[in-house]
């Protein structure tokens, strides 16, 4: 496919997404209908679509409309491209530009930085002087990080193993397991280092949430909101740590047994009605359901789906889960609360509400990782009694 045809395909996919079709369904549907498209075409179109969604408001302003066409016009204008070379109307290229597609100036900072209007004041309050830098980071593609499985290798060994498959990696400062991928990121899933469980895809801040805990042989750890199990696997890489994984929706953990086998990790998966019988635990990690604001680069549709009502629902849920899981922690143990959000309403405010309601608990650790500092946005706090 020529570049202009990729833009036209992206326009068609974006129109479907804007009409309510889920992102992955729209991309998969197009790929199935377009067998002529090669892997490079599909990758380029996917990149176009995700970038347009990250910058939906600013691209719509630059492109003159919140349509697939408007977003792709805005995307090209944002990088100073010559639109006449792409919008020719010839072959499979999009139609030539019209006079009413000149675009306009940004109406607000929220529009310029691609944050919903209702959220921008809260975003600024939560992030202070970093608000603009974080918003700009969320407008761009996220870096690719992998976690080194400490039970199989160290960072130097993993870097060497990845290099044999043409993947360039370097140490990331977030923690002692984190690597950032340079060239060859799309090869990771087919690499020997990945298939043999030496590395696992995981954001560096997500890894750092686990590394911040004092993990020692003999500890019993519960990953309460395990999801796909990335943090469970990170726990299991520490020698002598007994790991339990739970999620209210067990389907989210369906790939965890295969991932654990690849990593040579021992993880006991618990159904909801089994958790209490296995308590108490030395560490309970609650990676709570949240807005996902720290990972909006990876899942940009979530930024536009969030509204004030949903945020209120989430904070109520976070408080309830934190309270419910506190009874699972052994005396002297740690209740670790985490979110992949950078909003204070989901982070410090939830922790402060918990400690106010439970005066026997106190906070011993708090950290916020920012998307502007080379990781996803993440928050973690440690609570003890």
75 Cβ contact partners less than 8 Å away, ≥ 6 residues apart = 48, 51, 52, 55, 59, 63
Pair 325, 333: CB distance under 8 Å: no
- How many residues are there in the chain? 385
Alpha-carbon dihedral of residues 106, 109, 115, 117, nearest 10 degrees?
A: -90
Distances (CA, A) of 46 to 29, 72, 119: 12, 13, 27
Q: How far apart are CA 7 and CA 86, in angstroms?
A: 8
Encoding tokens for residue 18? 């804007």
Question: Is 290 annotated as catalytic?
Answer: no
**What is the secondary structure of 160-179 as a DSSP string?**
HHHHTTT--EEE-TT-TTEE
CA-based nearest residue to 75, from 95, 54, 92 = 54
CA-based nearest residue to 317, from 277, 338, 285, 290 = 290
Marked catalytic residue, from 55, 175, 225, 340: 340
Catalytic residues: 340
């Amino acid at each position: 496919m020529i570049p202009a045809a990729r833009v036209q395909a992206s326009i068609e996919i974006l129109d479907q997404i804007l009409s309510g079709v889920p992102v992955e369904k729209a991309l998969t549907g197009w790929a199935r209908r377009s067998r002529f498209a090669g892997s490079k075409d599909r990758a380029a179109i996917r990149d176009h679509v995700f970038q347009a969604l990250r910058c939906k408001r600013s691209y719509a302003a630059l492109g003159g409309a919140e349509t697939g066409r408007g977003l792709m016009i805005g995307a090209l204008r944002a990088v100073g491209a010559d639109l006449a070379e792409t919008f020719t109307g010839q072959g499979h290229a999009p139609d030539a530009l019209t006079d009413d597609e000149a675009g306009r100036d940004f109406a607000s900072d929220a529009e310029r930085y691609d944050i919903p209007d209702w959220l921008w004041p809260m975003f600024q309050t939560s992030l202070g002087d970093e608000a603009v830098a974080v918003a700009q980071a969320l407008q761009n593609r996220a870096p690719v990080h992998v976690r080194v499985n400490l039970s199989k290798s160290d960072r130097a060994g993993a870097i060497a193993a990845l290099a044999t498959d043409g993947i360039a990696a370097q140490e990331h400062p977030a923690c002692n397991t984190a690597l950032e991928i340079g060239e060859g990121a799309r090869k990771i899933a087919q690499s020997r280092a990945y298939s043999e469980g030496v590395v696992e895809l995981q954001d560096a801040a997500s890894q750092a949430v686990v590394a911040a805990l004092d993990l020692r042989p003999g500890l019993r750890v519960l990953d309460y909101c395990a999801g796909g199990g990335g943090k469970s696997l990170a726990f299991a890489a520490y020698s002598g740590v007994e790991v339990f994984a739970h999620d209210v929706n067990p389907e989210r953990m369906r790939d965890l047994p295969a991932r654990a086998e690849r990593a040579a990790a021992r993880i006991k998966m618990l159904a909801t009605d089994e958790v209490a019988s296995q308590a108490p635990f030395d560490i309970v990690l609650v990676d709570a359901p949240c807005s996902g604001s720290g990972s909006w680069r990876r899942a940009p549709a979530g930024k536009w789906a969030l509204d004030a009502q949903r945020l209120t629902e989430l904070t109520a849920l976070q408080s309830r889960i934190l309270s419910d899981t506190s009874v699972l922690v052994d005396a002297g143990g740690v209740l670790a609360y985490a979110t992949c959000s950078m909003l204070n309403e989901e982070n410090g405010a939830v922790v402060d509400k918990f400690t106010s309601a439970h005066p026997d608990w106190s906070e011993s650790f708090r950290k916020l990782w920012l998307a502007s500092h080379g990781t996803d946005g993440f928050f973690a706090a440690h609570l003890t009694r």
